[in-house]
Chain A
Amino acid sequence: MTAQTPGTPVAAEARGRPRRPWGAGLVPYLLILPAVAALALILGWALVRNVLISFQEFGKRQIITRTTEWTGLDNYADVLDDDRFWSTVGRTFVFMGANVVLIMVLGTLVGLLLNRLGKKMRLALSIALVLAWAMPIIPSTTVFRWLFDTQFGLANWVMRTLGFDGYEQHNWFESGFSTLTIATVLIVWMSVPFVALNLYAGLTTIGGEIYEAARMDGASAWRIFWSVVLPIMRPFFLITTFLEIIWVFKAFAQVYALNSGGPDRESETLPVMAYIEGMGQQQFGAAAAISVLTLLILLVALSFYFRLILKQEKEQQS
């Protein structure tokens, strides 16, 4: 492959001057080729393998006997026929929506705050944000698990101290809803720094004279944000929301480590469901089908967003 590619521009050149833009057009592709090849090797192979497994009956027996049993679309039919799958899809979207809205709103507020703070406080807040962000997922999930512990949890102590009844041995993980609420607090806490710091970085590029001009025209703080900051920062908000949607949608460790998708599988999101069906039940075919469907759902859900971003880029170019 490598022997062939350098030949192309040479061949193009040999044809004569009018064709020159062709060869020049190839150079960028050649430059990204190593990166694409590495990605294809690492991610692509796993993806292809996953898709292949989703068409197989693949479990304990197949692994041990080293056989491959193709079953066509059986896994997909089973998964799509399963009520649990659809309720999990709904739950995943609600969970994702709540998280992304909270992350974006709180992240934006903290970002704006960073921009207005004095030097010392800004440094303090930035350090706090970076620390929250740098904390690895499993340790922070474990800390949250302890905070909301039934017997010794801080949350129960706070509620008792504030004078609320019924928090003597309150179990915060007794329902799927409250488990996912805690997961939401955790994920929002982890994700706000990314939005806040990036927004702050973006805000520093807006010259002070723009604010001044707006204020001269008598704009309120809200109006300045809505009519000045938001339009300027629109690409930032679009791409960050896009990233957060993907990150929250595939958040696995936080949800799984909090309560293993329990109680009674009520806090399972799609990635957790795929893991429990796959690793727990050793039904790797069904789990692969769930993960492929998850990917497709995410692609469809984000396709309108892709278009929005592409449109935005076009507008900026013209």
Chain B
Amino acid sequence: MKRKLMAAIGVAAMAAGAVACGSDGDSGNDNAGGGGGGGGDKPEAITVWIMTGSAPDAWLDELNTAFEAEHGVEVNVEIQEWNGIQEKITTALSEDGTVDVLEIGNTQTVGFATTGGLADLGDLADQPWNATMLESAQVDGALYSVPMYGANRAVIYDKAIWAEAGAEVPTTREEWIEALETIEANTDAQPIYLPGQSWYVAGGFMADEGGAFAVKEGEEWAGALNTPQAQAGMEFYQQLQEFSTAPKDTDEATPQQSVDVVPNEKIASWIGLGWEAGGAIAAIEEKGGTADFGYFPIPGKTADEPGHVFLGGSNLAVAERAGSKEYATKWLELATSQEWAQKYVDAMGGGVIPNRTDVTASPEAGSFAEAMVQAAEVGYLPPLTTGWANVETDPNPIKSYMTKVLNGDDYAEAAEAADAEITDRINRE
């Protein structure tokens, strides 16, 4: 509630700020000339956009207090919702001094970097960033944002139900299916909750087979769902989905699996992120129950390698038209420095993959983070290109294709239609 209110106030303030800038460009902020830029006067405050749930309040407060003490510049943190964030960032980047530092989802960063809306952060390039995360933060070798955190999915299971069924934690796909069959036979629980459009999960199964959502052919990208690899990945998804009574035409967020589904139904396992597991535990406790969850990485085809998982996460960037690029960069540098990055990872309970190699996450034994970190090495990222953000946007062709395949439509036909749409969108700016 409070966050929503804060976001609403933030938006209102933003709108007011935009009007102020529009009416009188020169007196707006500290730097004359729209581009912002270094040097000159010290701003009174900088504005930082953080996505909801990305950073603990305590860490932010402590960090901002330290920053204010050092530079005498106030930091206004505005919490943003993911819904509709692309349009919001587009608007913010087109205005002078609306936002200084902003968190951008790692699949969307390249899209904004190529528009010229993000400042070049070349000075920060020599820090020991996590190599996979760095890929999503740069364009053609130039650094337009720095990694903030990484996160990926793991399987969350109800220990009591698994014990009741006599199922064992699997290390391969085959064992996984066996375990689900055992649960189905021996309990009345839903063996796995898997809605039809959990496309990040399906992408992992495709990556296990060597497939991808799209591939680069020369200069152009093309949808790659109508390939044997993608089909094999989707077949395994379908096999899993048959254990679930979840709707085939929604994703894991509608209804929100962690707080709306898992606490209200008897579900033996589900695939989720760390914050989802936390949300489910809180919701169950609120209802007076106790959650006893175990976690394991999504099993791969063999026991040597866990299944591929989508490497989610965020980057931090400085707006090209920031009110004060200088102090924005200083804040960014401080927030992602070894000291504060370590504090961040600790504050998140080790539930994130650190952005720097000199930061260590020490997850507790049996925690979600422990399972997550095991899989992080075989992560995959969707195509890192400007047009990818267009593909992700609803109506997402991958989601429609998944529903069609699960409903028993002809595979080639559904995949071809989705490929055409992906190709069309991904090559667009």
Contacts and interface: CB of A to CB of B under 8 A. Distances in A.
Interface of A: 59-61, 63-66, 150, 169, 171, 173-174, 260-265, 276, 279-283
A63 B394 contact: no
Contacts of A66: 94
Contacts of A280: 393-395
A64 B115 contact: yes
Given A65-B116, A283-B428, A265 B395 contact: yes
Contacts of B183: none
A301 to B, nearest CB: 27
A260 B393 CA distance: 12
Given A64-B117, A263-B400, A282-B87, A59 B429 contact: yes
6 contacts: A63-B94, A64-B94, A66-B94, A169-B247, A173-B249, A174-B249
Contacts, number: 61
A253 B427 CA distance: 30
A279 B90 CA distance: 11
A264 B116 contact: no
A49 to B, nearest CB: 16
A279 B87 contact: yes
A51 to B, nearest CB: 22
Interface of A: prevailing SS: loop
B116 A64 contact: yes
Interface of B: 86-87, 90-91, 93-94, 111-112, 114-117, 245, 247, 249, 390, 393-395, 400, 403-404, 425, 428-429
Nearest to B404: A264
B395 A261 contact: yes
B429 A281 contact: no
A261 B428 CA distance: 22
Given A59-B429, A60-B90, A63-B91, A171 B393 contact: no
Contacts of B112: 60, 64
B90 A282 contact: yes
Contacts of B86: 60, 282
Nearest 8 pairs between A and B by C-beta?
A264-B400, A64-B117, A61-B115, A64-B115, A63-B94, A64-B93, A280-B393, A64-B94
A261 B396 CA distance: 12
A173 B245 CA distance: 17
Contacts of A64: 90, 93-94, 112, 115-117
The residue among A260, A261, A281 with the most chain B CB atoms within 10 A of its own CB is: A281
Contacts of A262: 395, 400
Contacts of A281: 390, 393, 425, 428
Nearest to A82: B424
Contacts of A60: 86, 90, 111-112, 115, 429
Contacts of B395: 260-262, 264-265, 276, 280
A61 B114 contact: yes
Contacts of A282: 86-87, 90, 390
Contacts of B115: 60-61, 64-65
B404 A63 contact: no
Contacts of B247: 150, 169, 171
B403 A264 contact: yes
A174 B390 CA distance: 24
B106 to A, nearest CB: 17
B137 to A, nearest CB: 18
Contacts of A283: 428
B224 to A, nearest CB: 19
Nearest to A65: B116
A64 B115 CA distance: 7
B97 to A, nearest CB: 14
Nearest to A280: B393
A278 to B, nearest CB: 10
A280 B393 CA distance: 6
A133 B403 CA distance: 36
A174 B250 CA distance: 11
B249 A263 contact: yes
Contacts of A276: 395
Nearest to A57: B429
B3 to A, nearest CB: 23
A80 to B, nearest CB: 16
Given A66-B94, A264-B403, A279-B87, 12 more contacts: A59-B428, A60-B86, A60-B90, A61-B116, A61-B429, A63-B90, A64-B93, A169-B247, A263-B400, A280-B394, A281-B393, A281-B428
